[in-house]
Amino acid sequence: MVEQHHQWKEKEYKGMPGNNKSERKDEDGNKIRPKFLSNHTHYSPTDPDAKISVKPGKARQLNYSGQLAVDDAHHVITGACASTSGSKDSVIFPEIMNQTLENLSLNQMQTEEVLADAGYSSGESLKYCKEKGLNAYIPNFGQYKPEREGFYYNKSENRYECQKPGGNHAVLLFKGTKTDSKGYSKNIYRSSEKDCGKCPLRAECCGKVTKFKKLDDSIYKPLYDEMHEKLSRDPNYTRFFTKRRSSRVEPVLGTLINHHNMKRINSRGMAQANKHVLMAALTYNLKKYLKFITRKVHRNAQIMNLPKGKFWFWQNLFSTISIASI
């Protein structure tokens, strides 16, 4: 398992900057690899819920992730929970949204729009927002392709049609839905060997050995296309929403990390981590609540009897000065 993971690492990290010029070998002549921590190779026997987080520029260590939902108007935390660092943010999206909708409904408030970063983009998240009637602005993940170069998708026939100049104009029919190794369900489209076998573009399109073309799309591609169209409709409006999300959520996260002990947790287990996040969010909201309370200043007015006389103050002042000079 470890050897398989190192082979995957060499393939995926090929060409990336780093210390890959070292040719150190042990006494048996085997190459000395740098220590590599991953959830595939390491786990904590005392705290199995803690997972190794992988982020550029940060050390790999056992962590928990905190998920927050913040009100747009006053930066009030409307939902908070903990999740494992090894899972994607999109997996926890329905949970944090259910908590937010429930908390706001208890105060007779409705949620109309949702802003999130690309880490929460998934077919399940977009389906959830559509079922709940939420106007979501979630950028699609990096591997999303709005269209396939050289192929046209015929929506009525549910098939792809080749439109490459010089090709045989093959038709890729729908062959069914399959689940890949990562657990994603995809629709498979494939052409026949009769159409692509003798095509002059076969080598660069299908490969030197393969005699047919195969394309796959996520079963949630219509939802991704709808989100892509919404975000591309008005780039300035989309950019405004992106900056607004960063200006609302990031300061709250920074406050919790630097001033509410969210850098480190001194307990074990998901339940304790969730409690830690909730207590930090509760403390933050209490401070916000104190700012909303109107401070009433109590004043005590008293009546003082002052000596009568028009020039009493000046006479008393000059007499005091004259006595002091003696």
> Residues 256-315: pLDDT tens digits?
988 888 888 888 888 999 999 999 999 999 998 888 876 766 676 666 665 555 555 555
| pTM assigned to the model | 0.73
pLDDT for 285: 92
Q: Quickly tell me which residue has 């880490």 as its tokens.
A: 119
Other residues' Cβ atoms within 10 Å of the Cβ of residue 248: 16
Q: Which residues of the chain have pLDDT under 50?
A: 16-19, 320-326
Helix (H/G/I), strand (E/B), else coil: 40: coil
pLDDT for 324: 38
pLDDT for 275: 92
**Tokens matching residue 108:** 């007779």
Other residues' Cβ atoms within 10 Å of the Cβ of residue 67: 18
**Tokens matching residue 35:** 């220590």
CA distance 74 to 77: 9
Residue 302: CA atoms inside 13 Å, Cβ hemisphere, count?
A: 4
For residue 124, CA distances in Å to 101, 219, 224, 230, 296 come to: 17, 10, 11, 18, 49
CA distance 214 to 321: 105
Other residues' Cβ atoms within 10 Å of the Cβ of residue 124: 13
pLDDT for 202: 85
